[in-house]
Amino acid sequence: MPSHRVVAPQARPHSSDSALQRAAFALQAGRPDEAELIAGDVLKQSPNDARAQHMVGYARMLQGRAREAIPLLEKAARRTRDPAIETQLAVALRHDRRIDDALAQLDRVIKRHASFSLARLEKSSLLMSLGRAGEAIDVLERGLALAPRSGELAIQLGMIFAARSDNARARAMLSRGLADAPGHIDGLFSMARLMQSEREFAPAAGIYRQLLQAAPQEAAFRIGLGICQIELGDDEAGIENLRIAARANERLYYETVAALASAGRGRFFMKPSAARQFLRK
């Protein structure tokens, strides 16, 4: 008698599709280990399935195993010519510290898909990490010329300008980007920090409140709101937000103390123990 594991040929594609859908759901839910197991079973049955190759490779990359991910992402990229997969391959190469290979891969994607924003975002980020800000700006500006409604490109360009203390161009680009991507967390945070640096505390506080509605556990947003509240004269609410941030994220404790001490209406402590006692109250 045939084994109960034998699958009729016409059922196999449907079974693979179902499994890969479950793997995709696992990835979306932040469970790459589970996604790797599910898609890996499909890959064992169909070693040339580009979808399974991509899914397993991407899951491995998300688990910090870029070197193991690269061969599978290379195969999937060759088979599909999908710019998103090709860009993920570049990300894996970057994580494996093959920087020149990552840049070359991104150049190939951009050459074939000039208006594909994700590749330009990754390349500009990589160039910034190498201290090549001028080239990063050029990559984003060329992308915006091709895709003027790309909020993410404009926001990343605005963040670069902000890092270079070019506040006027930073504000213009962030405003442009947020008009097309109004809920962009990094863009909103950058705009709030820019406003805060220019002493526009009331609108900055409004943005921090919006951010905290989306991510109530994010201590950096609460620190920003707390400092704005102190500067606006609401010391009680501001200090309470700083205390919540200090309790929630120990890694941001010293940033909280520095923010409190540097605020125009903040507090200065002679001893670290005094600051800790104050914030832990």
Output the DSSP codes for 215-231: -TT-HHHHHHHHHHHHH
C-alpha to C-alpha distance for 54 and 50, rounded to whole angstroms: 6
Q: Is the pLDDT of residue 166 over 90?
A: yes
**Structural Rg of the chain based on CA atoms:** 24
Domain membership of residue 104 (yes or no) is no
Among residues 27, 31, 30, the alpha carbon closest in space to that of 52 is found at 27
pLDDT band (50, 70, 90) for residue 254: low
Mean pLDDT of the chain: 88
Check residues 173 and 236 and name the one with the higher pLDDT.
173
Domain membership of residue 139 (yes or no) is no
Asked whether the beta carbons of 191 and 160 are under 8 A apart, the reply is no
Element (DSSP H or E) covering residue 176 = helix 167-180
C-alpha to C-alpha distance for 210 and 235, rounded to whole angstroms: 20
Domain membership of residue 268 (yes or no) is yes
Domain with 244, as residue range(s), is: 184-281
Domain membership of residue 57 (yes or no) is no
Domain membership of residue 198 (yes or no) is yes
Domain membership of residue 205 (yes or no) is yes
CA 261 to chain centre: 30
Domain membership of residue 165 (yes or no) is no
The residue type found at 18 is S
| Domain count of the fold of the chain | 1
Domain membership of residue 248 (yes or no) is yes
CATH for 245: 1.25.40.10
C-alpha to C-alpha distance for 177 and 239, rounded to whole angstroms: 32
**pTM (predicted TM-score):** 0.82
